[in-house]
Amino acid sequence: MPEQQAESLRERKKRRTRQSIIDVAHALFHVNDYDTTTVEAIAAGAEVSVRTFFRYFANKEEVALAPLDEMGELTLTALRRRPADEPPLTALRAAVLDAWTIMSPDGESLRHYTDHLLPIGKASALAGAAQNRIVALGDRFALEFVEGDDAGGPQPRTDLHASLAAFAFLAAVQVAVRAWCASDSTDPADLVANALICLDSLVVERNSAHRA
């Protein structure tokens, strides 16, 4: 059998356990909220011990933000598929739209993503943790724009510009997401619309509205 399953029984079990924990956790987050849901309850629901829970996830935040991480990976993958000579913001804009729409033709991926967005937006304790992940993601985005240059050493200017593009982009997405969470819409299309407004106005920001 050439196309043997690469996953051993052990790995399959681990994968299922991990997914089970995620599912149970988010189900509980939906009923109660994040803060009042204890790790003990999640572990019990997933039929593992609390100790084992912490072997799969370093902390409670991590399981809550797992979907966000997934979307980050999707976007990073989409970014790497963009032509190498594209300006950073253009590439990032296209990448996130790819990750949100094209990469899930039925829109299920985006729906699955937005379903977990509200609980995150409501739990203020999660906002900080989410920002941590976003910073890490921004650094990886930035790397895409500097690596490949001749010298491997630090290039302050280039690094600054690459980081700036990445984090300005992430700021735009976050503004869109936060506005979407604050609105009473549950339609992912509204989120995309918000994101388009923000991303488009990012590059023409210098001409934007004046103060009140």
Partner DNA sequence: TTGCCATGTGGCAGTTCGTGCCATATATTC
Partner DNA sequence: GAATATATGGCACGAACTGCCACATGGCAA
Nearest C-alpha neighbor of 61 from the set 134, 168, 112: 134
Cα 198 from Cα 171, distance rounded (Å) = 9
- Closer Cβ to DNA, 55 or 80, answer by number: 55
128 binds, among its own copies, DNA, none (CB under 5 to 8 A by kind): its own copies
- Closer Cβ to its own copies, 24 or 173, answer by number: 173
Nearest C-alpha neighbor of 148 from the set 84, 95, 83: 84
Site string for DNA, 8-27 (x = CB under 7 A): xxxx-xx--x----------
CA-derived radius of gyration, the chain? 19
Name which of residues 68 to 107 contact DNA (CB under 7 A). none
- Closer Cβ to its own copies, 33 or 159, answer by number: 159
146 binds, among its own copies, DNA, none (CB under 5 to 8 A by kind): its own copies
Which residue ranges make up the site for its own copies (CB under 8 A)? 82, 84-89, 91, 124, 127-132, 135, 144-149, 156-165, 167-168, 170-172, 174-176, 178-179, 183, 194, 197-198, 201-206, 208-212
> Is 6 one of the binding residues for DNA (CB under 7 A)?
no
> Is 51 one of the binding residues for DNA (CB under 7 A)?
yes
Nearest C-alpha neighbor of 15 from the set 66, 64, 61, 65: 66
Collect all residues with Cβ–Cβ distance below 8 Å to 160 and sequence separation of at least 6: none
Query: DSSP for 25-46?
Result: HHHHHHHS-TTT--HHHHHHHH
Integer angstrom CA distances of residue 198 from 82, 119, 201: 21, 23, 5
167 binds, among its own copies, DNA, none (CB under 5 to 8 A by kind): its own copies
Residues at the contact surface with DNA, assessed by CB under 7 A: 8-11, 13-14, 17, 37-40, 47-52, 54-56, 58-61
